[in-house]
Amino acid sequence: MRRVLPPLNAVRAFEAAARHLSFARAADELCVTPSAVGQSVRALERWLGVPLFVRNRSQPQLTLTEAGRLYLPLICRSLDWIAAATRTVRNEMACAQEVLAVSSRPAFALHWLIPNIVAFQLSHLDLDVRVSTLHGDDESALDEGVADLSVRYGRPDSWTTPLEAVALMPDALTPVASPALAARIRAPGDLAALSLIHSRSAPEDWSEWAMICGLPPLATAGRLVVADRSLAIEAALAGRGVALCDVGLVGRLVEAGALAAPLPHLRLVRGTAHCLVWRQERTQEPKISCFRDWITTHCAARAA
């Protein structure tokens, strides 16, 4: 049977105004203006064909008509039933969802995982995906169940029993900078006139890159030292200098024009990578295997 229902937003406005006997207090509850509440109530009155409030400018407080007094308790019960039904469904779905906790190094989380994770979530609505950078390098996180999987940095063969690892994104470091700064770089030697951004978590990056270019250690116009590669990317975005960054992590920013890679073919590649790590005995767990399959496929596509 087709239900004949009034406009539900107008019903909510009436119920709040009737409960408070005030358009202003109803507006505060519903996060709208008093005039919006008044318009909604008038629209409901037109739909019903009867007035619900007595209009009396001399009285600051609203007064319900006989129709309004009849309508209010029925509407309250109906809204209570809708709210109860909604809570039931939400609680059931929350209980049904299985948590997938992924810890990651900050650079990978911010510049690859978070921008891409929505695709995984939309295809796995039964999983409550939680991403954290608090335990990116904490060896005990997987042991203690704090994380189901972890994105870490190193050589894939660094993790042995009881852990297992697969390379996601091999290191390929190249200089990146804001487009304005990058326009001043046509050859490696041009970096001497610019400030270089150094990461304390990888202090050898620039010296190794200079070596593969056949250059002596780079003496530049200045240097900015940050804690890790994630902050190095942010500093480059802010135009504070030239950072040596992983092509896979900054590819999205380069494509968008936020950063530029002036020497794209001069890359430092040394066998390290961002790796996905998990406990071997959990290899066949559905939530582990589906995330592993998804992330390895998408990282491979980005690398290609």
Give CATH 3.40.190.10 domain extents, the chain. 97-170+272-303, 173-256
241-278 pLDDT per residue, tens? 999 999 889 989 999 999 999 999 999 998 889 999 99
From the list 208, 227, 179, the residue with the least C-alpha distance to 267 is 208
Per-residue confidence (pLDDT) for residue 171, from 0 to 100: 86
80-113 pLDDT per residue, tens? 888 888 887 776 665 556 889 999 988 899 999 9
Q: Residue 304 pLDDT more than 90?
A: no
From the list 279, 288, 202, 189, the residue with the least C-alpha distance to 245 is 202
Do 107 and 228 form a contact (C-beta atoms < 8 A)? yes
Q: Residue 135 pLDDT more than 60?
A: no
Higher pLDDT, 97 or 151: 151
Lowest mean pLDDT among 1-10, 136-145, 271-280: 136-145
From the list 135, 200, 170, the residue with the least C-alpha distance to 274 is 170
Do 253 and 111 form a contact (C-beta atoms < 8 A)? yes
Lowest mean pLDDT among 94-103, 145-154, 230-239: 94-103
Give CATH 1.10.10.10 domain extents, the chain. 8-94
Structure-block tokens of residue 279: 């406990």
Query: HEC states along the chain?
Result: CCCCCCCHHHHHHHHHHHHHCCHHHHHHHHCCCHHHHHHHHHHHHHHHCCCCEECCCCCCCCEECHHHHHHHHHHHHHHHHHHHHHHHHHHHHHHHCEEEEEEECHHHHHHHHHHHHHHHHHHCCCEEEEEECCCCCCCHHHHCCCCCEEEEEECHHHCCCCEEEEEEEECCEEEEECHHHHCCCCCHHHHHHCEEEEECCCCCHHHHHHHHCCCCCCCCCEEEEECCHHHHHHHHHCCCCEEEEEHHHHHHHHHHCCCECCCCCCCECCCCEEEEEEEHHHCCCHHHHHHHHHHHHHHHHHHC
d(CA 163, CA 50): 71
Q: Average pLDDT for residues 189-197, to the nearest whole number?
A: 91
**Domain covering 173-256, topology:** D-Maltodextrin-Binding Protein; domain 2 (3.40.190)
Give 192's contacts (C-beta < 8 A, 6+ positions apart): 218, 219, 220, 221
Please state the CATH superfamily assignment of the domain spanning residues 97-170+272-303 in this structure: Periplasmic binding protein-like II (3.40.190.10)
Q: Residue 168 pLDDT more than 80?
A: yes
60-75 pLDDT per residue, tens? 788 999 999 999 999 9
Strand order, beta sheet including 195-199: 173-176, 242-246, 195-199, 222-226
Architecture in CATH of 8-94: Orthogonal Bundle (1.10)
